[in-house]
Amino acid sequence: MNITFEREGLLRPLTYVTGVVERRQTVPVLSYVLLRSESDGLTLTGTDLETEVVVSASGETNDRTDLTLPARKLLDICRALPEDAKITIRTEGEKAVVRTGRSRFTLRTLPSSDFPSIQTTDWDLRLSVDAAALRQVLSETQFCMAQQDVRYYLNGVLLEVVTGALRAVATDGHRMALSQIPAEGKLTEGRQVIMPRKAVLEISRILGDTTGRIELLFSPNHVRVQAPGLTFTAKLIDGRYPDYSKVLPARQSKRLLLDREALRVALNRVAILSNEKFRGARLVLEPGILKFVAHNPEQEEAQDELSVEYSGEPMEVGFNVSYLIDATSALNTEKVVVGLNDPNSSCLIHGPDQEFPRYVVMPMRL
C-alpha cells in the first residue's frame, strides 16, 4: 500500500478521528486509526466502541486496501511537519513507513480485520437540521450535563424530537438548560433519546466548520450525524430521563430586566471571593437595587450591585454563582430576564421575548 497526502489533507480528518480515540485502551487496536482505500476514495475511522467517526481524506493511491496506524502518534507527526509537506505512507510487512522530505517514521500496524465497527442499519427516524443550529443548541445546553453522576442518564443531553423541532435538555440536578431548533422529518410520534457526554462534545467539535443541512438518524440504540464527508455514530444512554417540564417554573412573581454584560461582569467580580468549594452568592433584591454578596471561609466579602426596576418587598436568595455566570454567558442577547419567586424557589434566566434557550438554577442555603 502506497498513499500520498498533502499535510492538510491528512491533518484535518485525522484531528476529527483522534478525538474519539481514548489514550489508554485495554484493546490495543482501539488506539489506532483505520485508513481505508476504496473505489470512492480514502476514509479515516476511529472508535472506542461507544462512538465512531468516519471522515473522508484527500490523498492519492491506486491500492484498494485497509491499514491501521497508531492514531495519536500519526497526528503528532503531522502536526510537527511544515504546512506544505507532502506525506507518503507505505506498508512494509507488519509496519508502515511515513516519509516526508528528509524525515522518516516507522510505525507499527495491527491487522485491519481486528478493527471493530458499529454495525447499525435500523434507522427508523431521519431529521434534517442546519449544522450551525445543531452546534448552537448543543453549546447552549451541554455545560449543564452531569459528570460521572451515579444517575447515569444525567451524564448526557436529552434530545427530544417534536413536531417540526429538535429540543435539547441537560441537567445535573442543580441547574437545567433547555433549547430548541427547527427540524424537518417525517415524525409519527415523539421521540426521546439520551446522547452521552462524549458524543455531545465531539459532535460540537467536528461540526465547527460545517455549514448547510445535515442529517440526524435515530435507531433504538444509536444516533448518527451525517454531514458531507463525515459520519459520526454514537451509542445512546439506555435510561429514562426525568420529566424536565416539572422543573420549569410556571410563573415568576418578580421579573428583572438587566443588561446581560453588566450582570455577567458583576457576577464574575463577586465570584472572586466566593467559597471555592460551594461557590455560593446571595442575591439581595431591594427597591431599585439588586445586590450580589459573597463570603469565603477566610471571612472575606465581595459585594456588587445593579440598578433595577423593582418596587416590591425585599428578598434574599442564595445561588451557586458559577451556575448564574454560565447561564448568563450562554445567552446571545443584550438584555436578560431573571425571574424569581421566593427564597426557596428556582430562578429562570432567558432572553427577553425569547422562548429558547432557558436556564433554571436551583437555590442553595447560605
d(CA 334, CA 364): 28
What is the reported pLDDT for 196? 97
Tens digit of each residue's pLDDT (9 = 90 or more) over 339-362: 999 999 999 999 998 999 999 999
Q: Return the ∠ at Cα 7 (arms to 6 and 10), rounded to 5°.
A: 90
Q: What mean pLDDT is predicted for residues 272-285?
A: 95
How far is C-alpha 52 from the geometric centre of its chain's CA atoms?
A: 16
> Which domains does the chain possess?
2-114 (3.10.150.10), 125-245 (3.10.150.10), 248-361 (3.10.150.10)
Check whether 325 has a pLDDT greater than 90: yes
Closest by alpha carbon to 198, among 232, 168, 228?
A: 232
How far is C-alpha 174 from the geometric centre of its chain's CA atoms?
A: 19
Q: What is the mean pLDDT of the chain?
A: 94
Q: In what order do the strands lie in the sheet with 222-227?
A: 66-70, 32-38, 41-47, 51-57, 230-235, 222-227, 213-218, 125-130
Q: How far are the Cα atoms of 106, 210, 223, 268, 294 from residue 298, in angstroms, in the given order? A: 57, 49, 49, 19, 12
Identity of the residue numbered 86:
K
d(CA 329, CA 324): 8
Tens digit of each residue's pLDDT (9 = 90 or more) over 79-114: 999 999 999 999 998 999 999 999 999 999 999 999
Check whether 121 has a pLDDT greater than 80: no
**Residue found under cell 429558547:** 356
Tens digit of each residue's pLDDT (9 = 90 or more) over 188-206: 678 999 999 999 999 999 9
3-class state of residue 90 by DSSP? strand
Could you tell me the three cell numbers for 32? 489506532
Check whether 1 has a pLDDT greater than 90: no
What is the reported pLDDT for 187? 76
d(CA 105, CA 197): 35
Cβ within 8 Å of residue 40, ≥6 positions away: none
Consecutive H or E run containing 340: strand 335-340
Quote the pTM value. 0.92
180 DSSP β-pair partners: 167
